[in-house]
Structure 1
Amino acid sequence: MSNVGIVLVSHSHELVKGLHALLEQIQPEVPIAIAGGTESGDIGTDVFAIKKAIEEVYSEKGVALFFDLGSAQLSAEMAIELLDNMQQIQLVDAPLVEGSYVAVVESGCGSPLHEVVAVAEGVRNLNKMNH
């Protein structure tokens, strides 16, 4: 049984590298790929690195794509446009750390993409409920 793939996009390679290590310990069977920073090691995003990350974890179950800032979202959207015949790739409107954490757990339970995304996006409301 394959699981929904998770892609972590950040302006910082170190940030997504550390988050990947955490998530891999939570659910080692969930495919996770990262795209952080630029090819030269600077802060920023790389459309082609994001495209490659999606391709690494893509399956018929789909891919949930998390990002840290608005320009990372734009880069992710451009990367998705470059992909041929890949359905079920969804950008997730959730905090990068908390959202990807619950998404990895949900994916590891074998849930479909729409449930993985819904659980992750539900994290946005947790902080509002506590204030």
Structure 2
Amino acid sequence: MVGLVVVSHSSTAADGIAEVAGEMGGETRIEAVGGDGQGGFGTVADDIETAIEDADGGDGVVVLVDLGSAVMNAEVAIEMSDAEAVIADAPVLEGAVNAAVAATSGKSTVESVREQAEAARGVEKL
């Protein structure tokens, strides 16, 4: 099964987004990672790498990020990791929910899950 990692500058935001996605994701492994490791805002590549490794069930990982340095640190974490992992260019909450639903399919791949996460860019709320 494809796993998910939610990266936010806020650990509270990452936890909440992962919780919402988890409601739709069944047995999908969803890891939340956020903050600077010292209780502040930011992201840490080593923490993201650990989350990628924890989320990988053998079929790869899709990483959803909030903004700025989260992208850079996720890229570094992916390079450090042995897992197959990609970043989805998607809104983090809506993308995480779409990805979680897509990951429940026995036929899901990293690319199919990323595509569904990225499809959330076009979702209108009104």
Same fold (TM over 0.5): yes
Task: Look up the match of 1:112.
Answer: 109
Amino acid at match of 2:103: S
Task: Look up the match of 2:23.
Answer: 25
Q: Deviations over 1:36-74 (max 9, x none)?
A: 001111000011110100010113211000000021000
Query: Which has the larger displacement, 26-35 or 94-103?
Result: 26-35
When normalised by structure 1's length, the TM-score is: 0.88
Unaligned runs of 5+ in 2: none
When normalised by structure 2's length, the TM-score is: 0.92
TM superposition shift of 1:28: 3.1
CA distance in 1, matches of 2:64, 2:121: 13
Query: Which has the larger displacement, 110-119 or 72-81?
Result: 110-119
**Percent pairwise identity:** 35
TM superposition shift of 1:123: 1.3
Unaligned runs of 5+ in 1: none
SS at 2:123's partner residue? helix
TM superposition shift of 1:22: 1.6
- Shift >3 Å, 4+ stretches: none
CA distance in 2, matches of 1:34, 1:41: 15
- Across the aligned residues of Structure 1 and Structure 2, the Cα RMSD in angstroms comes to 1.6
Q: How does 1:76-87 map onto structure 2 within 5 Å? A: 76-83=74-81, 85-86=82-83
CA distance in 1, matches of 2:72, 2:33: 14
Higher Cα Rg, which structure: 1
